[in-house]
Structure 1
Amino acid sequence: MFGQERFATTNALLGARAAEVGTLIVVHRGTAVGSLVENTPESVVAAVASGGDVVEIDVVASTDGEFFAFHDGNEQRLLGTDTDLRACTAREIRAHRYVHSARPGRPAPVAGLLELLAGVPAGTPVNVDRSWAWWESLLPALDTLGMSDRLLLKCAAAATDRIAVLRAHPVKYPFVPICTTPEEAHRYLEDPELNTVGVELLARDAASPFLDHEVLAGLRARGAMVLVNAEVLTTGRDLFAGHDDERAVLCSPEEGWGPLFDLGVDAIQTDWPWLLRDYRAARERVAVGA
């Protein structure tokens, strides 16, 4: 079971999925391959079809308070504009189209967040990222969906002002603080006003304490789901000491993802869920054979 006993019912879906498959595959922004675009309803369906157990979706808000599934900073790449969607009205956001996906009969607009979440396949948890700036208004909107057992909310562990908003909210959504030190990772695990279901760990290099088996075992012993990132960002920032998708795909899965499994992490976020699913299955076959 992940998280505190008092939140067992809310966290049951995530725990049951982990018990079924082992290491959870978290799909970064959904699966965007071919004509499909990240952070869209289609990418969510594709992520599940590609072997994902959890789907990560990003959030922006319009200037007039509507929420959309989009990762700010990617406007030029995806929409062909330098306009920051966070500076747009909802009407202006809806007028944009994904440039490499829109075609006659399929206009490919930016998806409304609530509509996207409501359409997520049953039983699939969603890792809601980059939403913390708007929690005062977003959390009540999420309440209307009745999905508290399926929505994981994240923010930096150091963002105490944002976490205070989550702590005060009556619906206790599963919370995953983003942590850079073991102290941050342990800070919220037993907070009675937070349903801290797990921790997202960032490791800049091989000297990070998060590459120590005992550090991770200590977190897991306290009921924390340990999530790490294998996706490679366009900024080049290293998210977990070079154990990443590019190394897995261009060198070998054993080299890129193997150390993460060896550490005993509970969830890996990736852009290549189908390959990670196959590697997970191959490791399971070897373990059974042993």
Structure 2
Amino acid sequence: MNLIKEKLEIHPFLIAVHRGSSMGNIVENTIPAFHAAVQSKADMLEIDLIRSTDGKFYIFHDGNENRLLGQDHNIKTMGSTEIDALNYRNNIGHSVNFKVEKLENVLNTFKGNILINLDRSWEYWETLLPFLDQFDMEDQILLKSPVQKSYLDILNAHPVKYSYMPIIKKLPEIEEAEAYQNINLVAMEIIAEDVESPFFQDKTIKSIKDKGLFIWINAIKLDEEIILFAKFDDDASIIKGPEHGWQKLIEKGADIIQTDWPNHLNNYRQKLKLTK
């Protein structure tokens, strides 16, 4: 059975934790942050991937080098020896004894029952997919990407059929993703900038779910400009109340909600279970 489906038989929706749970001395996208997320009742870890110039895979969201590592060079321009020499900064900017995690260490640590969403990995699929095969974690790994032919062709041709979720921003992208017969399409991540977006409409969401696909909706708030689901987000849920954020995502049919606040969202999920 698909692991997402298996977990949805237990929960009304799944909780995906954005970069793990970081606070204090625990830094995002590290094994301690992923442990914290699991302890906060995460069903899925959302992690970011980069590849060094000599072909090693690491967990990091490039563009955050100054904030997290105290240096200005893009990590994707570095070799593995240079990356291994870096130390993280914690949440108050102090250098700590945490290193940028190697993908293999993260996969070996969390092999088992936790789902793992590999974000920002698509530009490496030609070498990443064969690398992933050695871990025998096909049931746990969920790949995602924008709907782009170059990415989907690689995924379509790869013999191991990892679960896949396209990032859908335009209606024609649904059919583009569905056109590939050898991709294990299991879900769609939908982006709605406002309530007028087609992806905020019940009809659109139902048409996707009627195909047996799961719906991923983002509650995370990255900044004031990027709106992922019509401002029904983590901030609104915490500041105003869950009915102003998470509840709307649930009403819209979210099977997976990505959040930065798994403890709070899980507490709300438990309350919903009790009221049924």
Same fold, judged at TM 0.5 (above): yes
Which consecutive unaligned segments of at least 5 residues does structure 2 have?
A: none
The normalised TM-score by structure 2 is 0.95
- Pick one of 163, 173, 178 that aligns with 1:174: 163
- The structural deviation recorded for 1:201 is 0.5
- Pick one of 224, 228, 232 that aligns with 1:243: 232
CA distance in structure 2 between the aligned counterparts of 1:29 and 1:236, rounded to whole angstroms = 20
- Pick one of 11, 23, 32 that aligns with 1:21: 11
Deviations 1:82-137 (A, max 9, x none): 11000000010111111227989x72000001111111152001000000111111
Contact 2:24 2:90 in 1 (8 A): no
- Pick one of 185, 193, 198 that aligns with 1:196: 185
The normalised TM-score by structure 1 is 0.91
Contact 1:189 1:222 in 2 (8 A): no
Closer/same/farther in 2, CA of residues 43 and 217 from structure 1, 3 Å limit: same
SS in 2 for 1:20: coil
Residue in 2 that maps onto 1:5: none
Residue in 2 that maps onto 1:4: none
CA distance in structure 1 between the aligned counterparts of 2:11 and 2:150, rounded to whole angstroms = 36
Q: Does 2:251 correspond to 1:273?
A: no
- Pick one of 220, 230, 238 that aligns with 2:209: 220
CA distance in structure 2 between the aligned counterparts of 1:193 and 1:75, rounded to whole angstroms = 37
Q: Does 2:108 correspond to 1:110?
A: no
Deviations 1:43-62 (A, max 9, x none): 11111111111110000110
Contact 1:189 1:224 in 2 (8 A): no
Deviations 1:167-211 (A, max 9, x none): 111111000000012332343346321001100001111111111
CA distance in structure 2 between the aligned counterparts of 1:22 and 1:182, rounded to whole angstroms = 26
**Counterpart residue identity of residue 146, structure 1:** D
**Counterpart residue identity of residue 200, structure 2:** L
SS in 2 for 1:246: helix
Which consecutive unaligned segments of at least 5 residues does structure 1 have?
A: 1-8
Q: Does 2:157 correspond to 1:160?
A: no
CA distance in structure 2 between the aligned counterparts of 1:255 and 1:190, rounded to whole angstroms = 36
- Pick one of 215, 220, 225 that aligns with 1:231: 220
CA distance in structure 1 between the aligned counterparts of 2:106 and 2:130, rounded to whole angstroms = 17
- Pick one of 123, 127, 131 that aligns with 1:133: 123
Identity %: 37
